[in-house]
Amino acid sequence: MSGRKKTELNARSILATIMTRNYGDMNTMTYLARTVVALTGVVCVLGTALVYEATRPPVMRFFSTDARGRISPLVPLDQPIMTREALFQWVTTEVIGVYTKDYVHWREQLTEDQDGFTLGGWKSFRKDFEKNFIEPVIENNYITSAVPTKAPILVDKGVRDGRYAYSIQLGITVTFRGGIHEHSSSQNYIISVLVVRQSETENETGRGLAIAQIVAQ
C-alpha cells in the first residue's frame, strides 16, 4: 500500500473518531439539558408549594373534652352528631326518666331531667309538667313508672334556626301506684319530642344534643 493511501486511511479513521466523539458529546449535552429542565421544574413546584403553605391561613380544628377527659372533635351545629339508633335510644331513655317519678324525691328527679333539655325548653316544659303531672303525684302520694310501648319514629329532620333538629314520636305507658287508696292505674301517651343540636361543651356528657320541647297526648 502506497504512502498516500495510508495517509488517506489514517485521515478517515481520525475523522470517524472525531465524529463519534462529537456525537457522544451531543447526546451527553442533550441529556444534561433535559435533566436541568426537569430539576428546574421540580424546584419551581416545591417553591410554589412552600409559598402556599407559608401564606395560606391555618386550618383550625377544635376539640372538646367531657367530664371523663375524653377528647372529641367539635361538630358544627348545623350537622347531625348521632346515628339514628343512638338518637332513638337516648330520646327513649330521657322520656322514660321524665315520666318516672315519686312524691318524695321528685325535686331531685327533676334536677336530673333538666340536663337533657335546652335552657328555654326546660323552662317551658317544667311549668306545665309540674302543674299537670307532678302536682297529682304529690297530692296522691303516687309512684310512677314509664315503659316504652311504641318504637320511636323520625317525623322530620333538618336545620332550624341554624341548628340541626329532629322531630321524634314514641309511645309510652305510665303506671301510677300507691296513693291514698293504694290503687294502681295506667295511662298511655304519645310523646312528641323536638331535639336540637347544642355545643358539646354545654353539658358534662359532651352529648351535643338537647330536648327543646316535649308534648304528651
Q: What is the pLDDT of residues 64-82, one digit of tens each?
A: 454 455 455 678 999 999 9
Q: How confident is the model at residue 202 (pLDDT cuts 50, 70, 90)?
A: confident
What is d(CA 18, CA 96) in angstroms, rounded to the nearest whole number? 99
> What's the confidence (pLDDT) of residue 63?
44
Mean pLDDT to the nearest integer, 187-191? 98
Q: 146 with 95, same domain?
A: yes
Given this model, what pLDDT does residue 74 score?
72
What's the pLDDT at 16?
A: 52
Contact criterion met (CB below 8 Å) for 163 and 196: yes
Residue 209 in domain: yes
State whether 52 and 108 are in the same domain.
no
Is residue 85 assigned to a domain?
yes
pLDDT band with cut points at 50, 70 and 90 for residue 18: low
- Percent share of the chain, pLDDT over 90: 58
Q: Which residues on neighbouring strands pair with residue 190, listed in sequence order?
A: 171
Mean pLDDT for the stretch of residues 130-146: 96
* pLDDT tens for each residue of 141-180: 999 999 999 999 999 999 999 999 999 999 999 999 987 6
Which residue has cell 412552600? 50
Q: Are 181 and 155 in contact (CB under 8 A)?
A: no
Give per-residue pLDDT as tens, 20-64.
Answer: 555 555 556 665 557 656 666 666 666 666 666 666 655 444 444
Q: Is residue 133 classed as helix, strand or coil in its secondary structure?
A: helix
What whole-number distance in Å separates Cα of residue 49 and Cα of residue 37? 19
Q: What's the rounded Cα separation, in Å, for the pair 157 and 159? A: 7
Give yes or no: residues 49 and 8 share one domain: yes
- Domain of residue 17, residue span: 1-59
Q: What pLDDT is recorded for position 131?
A: 96
Identify whether residues 17 and 114 lie together within a single domain. no
pLDDT of 139 > 50? The answer is yes
- Residues 87 and 22 placed together within one structural domain of the fold: no
Angle in degrees, CA 67, 72, 77, rounded to 5: 100
Quote the pLDDT of residue 181: 73
| Whether residues 158 and 109 fall in one domain | yes
Which ranges of the chain does DSSP label H, i.e. alpha helix? 3-55, 84-98, 106-114, 119-129, 135-139
Q: C-alpha grid cell for residue 37?
A: 429542565
Residue 179 lies in a domain: yes
Q: Do residues 124 and 207 share a domain? A: yes
User: Could you tell me the pTM of the whole model?
Assistant: 0.68
How many domains does the chain fold into? Answer: 2
Same domain membership, residue 119 and residue 83: yes
Length of the chain: 217
**Residues 178 and 205 reside in one and the same domain:** yes
**Per-residue pLDDT for 128 more than 80?**
yes
Q: Is the domain of 55 the same as that of 88?
A: no
State the DSSP H helix or E strand holding residue 191, giving kind and residue range, or none if neither.
Answer: strand 183-197
As a whole number of angstroms, the distance between CA 168 and CA 86 comes to 13
Please give the Cα distance from 145 to 142 (Å, whole number): 10
Whether residue 166 lies inside any domain: the answer is yes
